[in-house]
Amino acid sequence: MLNYSWVALHRNLNWFKNACNCLDIENSWRKNVRIKVVMFFILISLSLNMQTDSIFISPFIGIHKSSFKYRILNTLLNEMNKSTDFIVNGLEEVLIQDDVFISSGNIIVERGGKLILRNVKVIFPHKKCYEYGIILKENTTLEIYQSEISGVNNLFFFKAQDTRLIIVDTKIRMTHIICGNSSQVMIIGSDLWALHSFDDCQIYINNSKLNYVFLRDSSFAKINNSNIVEVILYDRSKAEISNCVLKNIFYFDEGSTTLINCSYIDLIRYKPKCCSLIINVVDEITRDPIYHANVELYRLKTLVFSSLTNKYGVVVFQDIEEGDYIIEIEKKGYIPLRIRISLINEIQNEKFIMRREVKNQNTKFSSIMYILIIFSLFLLIHIKSKELIKYINKFLYF
C-alpha cells in the first residue's frame, strides 16, 4: 500500500550522519542498541515520506531517557527535510487514519492513485503563501472523512484535475479548492472556505457551509440544504439551488441558476442574460398562421428588432437582453396589435392572435349618398344662381 524508496533510504542515511554532527554527539553513541532501533525506524519512516515524530519517534523517545529530546529531533526533522513531498503513486491506494499529519511539502496523488484520509488532521506549516499544498492529478481519487485540513499562518493550494473528490464531515480552511477538467466533487456535511469549478466539473453540495462557490465555463452545481455566503457564476455555468440560505448571487456572462425555496439578500447580474424570443402570429377565426406580418420589438421607445413572419407565422429574435419590451404587429386586413411583454426566459415563446378588419357596407353606401347630395346642392345652387341673374337683368332694363 505504501511505496518503499531505496534511493530515499540511502539519502536519509547520509542525512543522519550530518544530523549527528549538528547535535555534537560522539560516534560511541551509535553502539547503543536502543538508539540504533530509533535510527532504524526514523530511516524507514523518512523513506516512506511519512511524519516520523507522530508515527515512529514518539514511542521510543518516551521510554528512553537519552540526550535525544523529542523537541530537538522534531525541529531537526523540520529544518533538514523542508521540501519532502508525500506522494501517492499511480495505481496505489493509501489510507491515513486517526493521525496528525504535519506536511513538510506537497501532498501529491499521481495519475491513477487514490488517497483516503479518515479522522486525520492535516497541517501545512509553511512560511510563504501558497508555498505548498495538495495536488491531485488526472484520474485520481481523494476521499476525506471526519477530518480537518488547514494552514498555520499562510494559505495553501488545493488543485484537482479530472478528480473524484469526496469530502464528508470535514473542515477545510485557508485554501481555495480548485477543480478542473471533468472532476466530480461531492461535499456533505462539511465546512469549506471556497470552491472553484472550471471546465465541465460536476459539483454536488448537501448540508454544508461554504463562504464562496465560483462556477466557470460549463460547470454545473447542485446545492441543497446549505448555507453559502456568495455564489458567483461565469460563462455558461449553471446551478440548481434548493432549500438554501444565501447572501448574494452574482451573474456574469450567461451564467444562470434555478432557485427553489431559497432565501437571499441580493441577486446581481452584471451582464444581462441573453434570450431568444419566438413569436407566433395566427388568425383569430381560422387559427392559421399569418404570413408576412410585420413584427417590431421596442424597448424604451427604441426599435430593437424588426422582421416579417415566415410561412408558419413565426419570427425569431435572438440574443436579446432580458427585460420589458413592446411588440407591435401589423398586417394588411388585420387590426394592428401593440402588446407589452417581460422577457425573462432563455427561450421564450409568445403567441399572438390578430382580428380581421370588418368592412361596413352601410358606411360605403353613406359615402356615396353624401357625394350625391353635395353634387345635387351644387347643381341646385348653380341653377338658382342663373335664374337670379336673369331676374336682376330683367329688373334693371325694365
Using a 10 angstrom Cβ sphere, with 0-12 exposed, 13-18 middle and 19 or more buried, the burial of residue 136 is: buried
Helices (H) and strands (E) in the chain, counts: 6, 27
Q: What's the rounded Cα separation, in Å, for the pair 325 and 190?
A: 45
Q: What's the rounded Cα separation, in Å, for the pair 126 and 123?
A: 9
Q: Is the pTM for the entire model greater than 0.85?
A: no
Classify domain 274-354 by CATH number. Answer: 2.60.40.10
Handedness of CA 116, 226, 160, 134 (dihedral sign): negative
**In DSSP terms, which residues pair with 184 in a beta bridge?**
164, 202
- Set of cell numbers at residue 280: 407566433
Angle at 102 between CA 98 and CA 105, to 5 degrees: 130
**In DSSP terms, which residues pair with 238 in a beta bridge?**
220, 256
**pLDDT above 70 for 2:** no
- Set of cell numbers at residue 16: 543522519
pLDDT tens digits for 234-282?
Answer: 888 999 999 999 988 887 766 788 889 998 888 776 666 778 999 999 9
**pLDDT above 50 for 56:** no
Q: Count of CB atoms within 10 A of residue 228's CB?
A: 24
Angle at 75 between CA 73 and CA 78, to 5 degrees: 105
Angle at 284 between CA 280 and CA 287, to 5 degrees: 60
Q: What's the rounded Cα separation, in Å, for the pair 82 and 67?
A: 24
**pLDDT above 70 for 298:** yes
